[in-house]
Amino acid sequence: MSLWRYRDRLPVEPLVTLGEGDTPLIPAPRLSARTGAEVWLKFEGANPTGSFKDRGMTVAVSAAIREGAEAIICASTGNTAASAAAYAARAGLRGAVIVPEGKIATGKLAQALMHGARVVALRGNFDEALRLVRQLVDRHPISLVNSVNEFRIEGQKTAAFEVCDGLVDPPDALCIPVGNAGNITSWHKGFGEYGVAPQLHGFQAEGAAPLVHGAPVAQPETVASAIRIGNPARWEEAMGAITSSRGLIRAVSDAEILDAYRVLASEEGVFCEPASAASVAGLLKYGAEGRVVCVLTGHGLKDPTTALDQARSVIPCEPDLGSVEEAVMG
Ligand code: AN7
């Protein structure tokens, strides 16, 4: 099974697919007890490259193939780069990704490089990278696969279909991290096509919260590098989705994000990356009622550096039973 089971709702044929979508919808008993809501986790880290981007990429790259493209490109905080690189490799297209130098998680960099993409480290942030690739594709026949590409939205809307098909009744609210604002736009479209209207609560990192402040942020900063974005491309759509669903856009601090990140891993057994934990940080901070789905957008293994910074240390041990006993039980 993959998201292509919804192909009659998608604008292209699956010309390149790695089996994306159909991700686990996991009940979260500990978070439910803490919040009084019925909390579910949509674990998008289970996609082929470890993030929700694959939903959009299978559709966008299928469309690029249909249009005869030979190369694809994106600006990225990491996950789009990893996904674009994988689908380019699979499709036999050239792939180029432009990432903010030193600001993407290690796993994502490893993926983009291993898939054979040309990885360009920009001495600038994501917003500058996106502005430059948009100019570049005006001058060259390269397909842009950022979420400004409508096919990305089409693919990503299937997550909303899956949630509705996976629950007896649709959710009352969705909690979702917001960066460039393509994903909240996609969920809104998916729920709309399904004929349901949960409240959409978007969460941004405090240091990268342009939608919360109502103005672009020139120098966005957050430990959640995936959402270190100061001028979201889908600004209007995201605000429209939030307002029309009677949801809210709010900020969570890095400390709150890291706290939710640890709670998810240590109490629910679900390891997501820091940006994803912003959805749960928002739920814990602001609350929500009824049946609530938190979108966990990317896998925890994407960013081992932040994990090891946050976790307790390993216990060194000599190879004898007494020492092992002491280490294990002590
Ligand atoms: C884990 O990869 O923008 O609001 O270039 O990787 O649709 O941007 C990633 C975004 C949330 C925010 N969680 O989604 C990129 C990029 C994770 C992400 C978001 C991203 P959008």
Contact 37, 292 (CB under 8 A): yes
| Averaged pLDDT for residues 234-262 | 98
**Percent of the chain scored above 70 by pLDDT?**
100
Cα 170 to averaged position of ligand 1 atoms, centre (Å): 24
Dist. CA 128–CA 122, nearest whole Å: 9
**330, pLDDT greater than 90:** no
What is the best residue among 51, 152, 264 to mutate for testing ligand 1's pocket, by most ligand atoms within 8 Å of CB? Answer: 51
Average pLDDT, the chain: 98
Residues with CB under 6 A from ligand 1: 51, 76-80, 147, 177-183, 226-227, 273, 275-276, 297-298
For residue 241, report the phi and psi dihedrals to the nearest 5 degrees. -65, -45
| Averaged pLDDT for residues 214-243 | 98
| pLDDT recorded at residue 1 | 87
pLDDT in tens, 56-70: 999 999 999 999 999
Residue with tokens 């889908």: 234
| Averaged pLDDT for residues 141-166 | 98
Mode of pairing for the β-strands spanning 38-43 and 25-27: antiparallel
| Averaged pLDDT for residues 310-327 | 96
Cα 328 to averaged position of ligand 1 atoms, centre (Å): 39
Nearest atom, ligand 1, residue 177 CA: 11
| pLDDT recorded at residue 306 | 98
| Averaged pLDDT for residues 159-171 | 98
- The confidence band for 231, taking pLDDT boundaries of 50, 70 and 90, is very high
| Averaged pLDDT for residues 271-282 | 99
β partners of residue 293: 40, 174
| Averaged pLDDT for residues 155-161 | 98
pLDDT in tens, 31-46: 999 999 999 999 999 9
Give residue limits of the domains in the chain. 3-52+151-309, 53-149
**The domains spanning 3-52+151-309 and 53-149 adopt the same CATH topology:** yes
| Averaged pLDDT for residues 220-225 | 98
Span 53-149 CATH architecture: 3-Layer(aba) Sandwich (3.40)
**278, pLDDT greater than 90:** yes
Residue 19 token pair: 């089996």
pLDDT in tens, 177-212: 999 999 999 999 999 999 999 999 999 999 999 999
Query: Which CATH number applies to 3-52+151-309?
Result: 3.40.50.1100
